[in-house]
Structure 1
Amino acid sequence: MASNSSWLYLSPSTFTMKILIFVLFFVPYCALAFDSQMVIDSPMLTQKVGTNRTIKVDINGNGEFKSVQAAIDSIPEGNSNWVIVHIRKGVYREKVHIPKTKRYIFMRGNGRGRTAIVWSQSSSDNIDSATFKVEATDFIAFGISFKNDAPTGVAYTSQNQSVAAFVAADKVAFYHCAFYSTHNTLFDYKGRHYYESCYIQGSIDFIFGRGRTIFHNCEMFVVDDKRINIRGSITAQNRESEREMSGFIFIKGRVYGIGGVYLGRAKGPYSRVIFAKTYLSKTIVPEGWTNWSYDGSTENLYHAEYKCHGPGATSEGRAPWSRQLSDEDVAPFLSVDYIDGKNWLPAWQ
């Protein structure tokens, strides 16, 4: 009996030691599991949107449509139930537009390395150049690459942009997608948006607009800016007033690439960008931030970092108006509540 129940008769010191071991080694892993990010994959999203209506697109003719836009056009205006547009592997060389009248579209690819929508156009009009445009509320994309492959020599000029995606609607989410261009890659124009595990490539203002947006666990790859006097920038956020609920929040993920680049430049008097817990390679220049396109006061700019790491994360030499945030400062921005995500992201419902 004593041998089988010896734990009941532990001395106070032994009991205290075992409790201490439990707290030090077991409890942290419980907390970690409780706080861990859910794995968001295609089957999970398919289940969450709760529909059995699927339109198949296959460039080789083994679906209902060969063209992505033809599939979108087949969805009736005023659509009020989720529709899955399954885009099988292949390079779809076309411009695609999701109009305001066609909500609840889940555009599902076979993986960003296998399904791609590609166009080649530079223009002084960002919207006109965009390979992909979404203007409908309640939109999801998973596992698709969006690319504007306009020749680099054209895209680098100051008067021509080559947008890969124009996101101009509320409640839009991209999971495991990729965005490729050089100049103005991702026009995150307006609305509440969420990007999960995405890859974004560019050199000049390659994430810009006034969206209220979270980029979680995303990779930003910097292509060398060929201009001489102005370094490229990852972001160009255009928040116009203190009351405006917009700003780009980068949580985890990493920034790497070729050449020197700023984390962001101010494109409005209240420009707001935060990089939190993100790996920053040496491609980030010491100043970190610039206001070269905005000649006004820097007093209201909210260019900030929180617990970033890597050779580009040093605070020495940072622009004087930039901020290193405390736990309390950053707390409102580190949850999907910043974009009211629990109310509209299917993965969180």
Structure 2
Amino acid sequence: MRSEFYSFTSKPTSFSETRNVNTMMHKISILSLHLLLLLCFHPLTTTADGNFTTGIDTWCDQTPYPDPCNHYFRRHNGYRLPTHLSEFRAMLVEAAMDRAISAQDKLKMSGLNCTDCRKQAILTDCIDLYGDTVLQLNRTLQGLSPKAAGEPCTDVDAQTWLSTALTNTETCRRGSSDLNVSDFTTPIVSNTKISHLISNCLAVNGALLTTGNNDTTITDDPKVFPAWVSRKERRLLKFQSARTVPANVVVAKDGSGHVKTVQAAIELAGRRKVTSGLFVIYVKRGIYQENINVRLNNDNLMLVGDGMRYTIITGGRSVKEGYTTYSSATAGNLLILIVLIACDPGIEGLHFIAKGITFRNTAGPAKGQAVALRSSSDLSIFYRCAMEGYQDTLMVHSQRQFYRECYIFGTIDFIFGNAAVVFQNCIILPRRPLHGQSNVITAQGRADPFQNTGISIQNSIIQPAVDLKPVVRSVKTYLGRPWMKYSRTVILKTYLDSFVSPVGWSPWIKGSTYALDTLFYAEYKNIGPASSTRWRVRWKGFHVLNKASDASAFTVGRFITGTAWLPRTGIPFSSGL
């Protein structure tokens, strides 16, 4: 199908007047954790074994999941009672990391004896995901340490990485449902209580977020700017023609470049001994039929194409063909594989940037989940790119992400995942689904009330794709539905064409009440024929935002701390509303 590109229910209740269960749970948890702060001023300093057990109970009992906390510290010697909340946080992160390592080892052992291809695919995902969980927890522990060897991190950074660690465990758990396999991974890792331990980390770090100094604003002082982008590299994204970009590697199908495939160029970048500066890959115009993967530790990579019309990376994998939504499995290679499935490109390295490229999945609407792009890259940017697919087109899996002037095509849940992500000045184009299906734009996957994740769509356009227009009156289109209990999606100052359902949002399944009280869906000053909130859903979790101060929490500057990392890239962005 031809791609298309363009130039550029009740009376609503105010956000300040509405108090849903999600907000109340936040307040209760924060209040409980502030009791821990009192311990900072009245520390328990006794260290005898019996007193430690009693004392650690006092700390653990204030967390959302005290039992796994108490159980772990009672069984592991060598700890002393914390005297400050930050010390307790470090203990919790270390405990979670220990359990994550144990869980990954158990999954590896299960993989050695697994002969079922579908289970092998799921185990491959889980081993990968738990490996990344260990990395995120270690990154948090090292970054927050007063003796950190590298750049210290903020509590906001820590909350992002802890959110990613928890998202990874949930992604592993959900792999079985993709391939209609009974959940066999949860029993393998259940005794580690890893998810509950990470949730405790999130809650304690969340309490520190309310009291600490977490200013992430960047000034023009060159010493403050992130070291991974030089002044020269910042200008790369301002080139109108990709042909003038001073690339490290050129990809060309006709052999006129250094390599013929995008993955070959990515692997060359991965062999660098020093990854502190951007590695630029220029991908000449052409259709590249391949699955690409930017692995962990292949950081500071930039793909630049000749424009989204001309540089296209395409594949056709889907769940119907035996892939999971997250990643692609190779039987028997369970311990080292870090690739993706049901998706074409997968991005994991830090600070990834793409400009002028289309990521396409051609599986079609009948093949089920079929991802065109999966990104788990922290501080990643997609500028003037397109993502084309049907169900599950774009998996914003985790971390902080920014999409500017992008085009996103799909049918069901076609922007989904649990990143903290802002889409700014983008065009979102629901396509024609199968007969009897509805379109759902977002399915956000926030599983814990302390995860600092969600989907924010700002100053964008939502309108039907060309193939939907002939049948637009017969297909319902919704802004989103709750994939997880604390799903969070906000639409700000966006044009909503008339085909969007007047109710706006959909339950997960027709008639279901799942997450309707605990989700957070909100709209702020949208425009267009479907922007009226008069007939919107009446869920406790839905809000019409009337104050700029409320809506600004979901902007680039505040939601993804964009002013701390976007200025040096040269990418245009608006930090506020």
Greater strand content: 1
Equivalent residues in 2 for 1:271-290, closer than 5 Å? 271-290=487-506
Once superposed, which parts of structure 1, at least 4 consecutive aligned residues long, lie more than 6 Å away?
none
| Structure 2 residue aligned with 1:62 | 256
SS at the partner of 1:74?
helix
| Structure 2 residue aligned with 1:324 | 544
| Structure 1 residue aligned with 2:152 | none
Verify: 1:308 aligned to 2:530, yes or no. Answer: no
Q: Distance in 2 between matches of 1:348 and 1:151?
A: 36
> 1:77·1:101 contact (CA, 8 Å) conserved in 2?
no
> 2:233·2:278 contact (CA, 8 Å) conserved in 1?
no
1:183 deviation in Å? 0.7
SS at the partner of 1:242?
coil
1:323 deviation in Å? 1.4
1:292 deviation in Å? 2.1
SS at the partner of 1:147?
strand
Paired AA for residue 247 in structure 1: G
> 2:396·2:418 contact (CA, 8 Å) conserved in 1?
yes
Equivalent residues in 2 for 1:184-263, closer than 5 Å? 184-228=392-436, 231-257=438-464, 258=468, 259-263=475-479
Paired AA for residue 536 in structure 2: R
> 1:197·1:216 contact (CA, 8 Å) conserved in 2?
yes
Verify: 1:82 aligned to 2:278, yes or no. Answer: yes
TM-score, with structure 2 as normaliser: 0.50
Identity %: 30
> 2:366·2:434 contact (CA, 8 Å) conserved in 1?
no
Query: Per the alignment, do residues 150 and 45 of structure 1 end up closer, same or farther by CA in structure 2, a change over 3 Å counting?
Result: farther
1:132 deviation in Å? 0.6
Paired AA for residue 561 in structure 2: D
Query: Per the alignment, do residues 168 and 328 of structure 1 end up closer, same or farther by CA in structure 2, a change over 3 Å counting?
Result: same
Q: Distance in 2 between matches of 1:176 and 1:214?
A: 14
Query: Per the alignment, do residues 201 and 243 of structure 1 end up closer, same or farther by CA in structure 2, a change over 3 Å counting?
Result: same
> 1:224·1:260 contact (CA, 8 Å) conserved in 2?
no
Verify: 1:100 aligned to 2:296, yes or no. Answer: yes
SS at the partner of 2:354?
strand
Paired AA for residue 181 in structure 1: G
| Structure 1 residue aligned with 2:388 | 180
Q: Distance in 2 between matches of 1:180 and 1:332?
A: 29
Query: Per the alignment, do residues 98 and 286 of structure 1 end up closer, same or farther by CA in structure 2, a change over 3 Å counting?
Result: same
> 1:269·1:296 contact (CA, 8 Å) conserved in 2?
yes
Paired AA for residue 325 in structure 2: N
Which one is further off, 329-338 or 203-212?
A: 329-338
Match of 1:46 among 236, 242, 263: 236
Query: Per the alignment, do residues 113 and 348 of structure 1 end up closer, same or farther by CA in structure 2, a change over 3 Å counting?
Result: closer
1:337 deviation in Å? 3.1
Q: Distance in 2 between matches of 1:112 and 1:296?
A: 38
SS at the partner of 1:56?
strand
Query: Per the alignment, do residues 146 and 53 of structure 1 end up closer, same or farther by CA in structure 2, a change over 3 Å counting?
Result: closer
Paired AA for residue 202 in structure 1: G
> 2:393·2:410 contact (CA, 8 Å) conserved in 1?
yes
SS at the partner of 2:481?
strand
Q: Distance in 1 between matches of 2:440 and 2:236?
A: 36
> 1:139·1:172 contact (CA, 8 Å) conserved in 2?
yes
Uncovered stretches (5+) of structure 1, i.e. residues with no partner: 1-41, 155-159
Match of 1:117 among 313, 326, 329: 313
Q: Distance in 2 between matches of 1:218 and 1:194?
A: 11
Query: Per the alignment, do residues 244 and 91 of structure 1 end up closer, same or farther by CA in structure 2, a change over 3 Å counting?
Result: same
Paired AA for residue 324 in structure 1: V
| Structure 2 residue aligned with 1:29 | none
Q: Distance in 2 between matches of 1:301 and 1:267?
A: 10
Greater helix content: 2
1:301 deviation in Å? 1.3
SS at the partner of 2:451?
coil
Q: CA RMSD in A?
A: 2.2
| Structure 1 residue aligned with 2:7 | none
Q: How many residues align?
A: 301
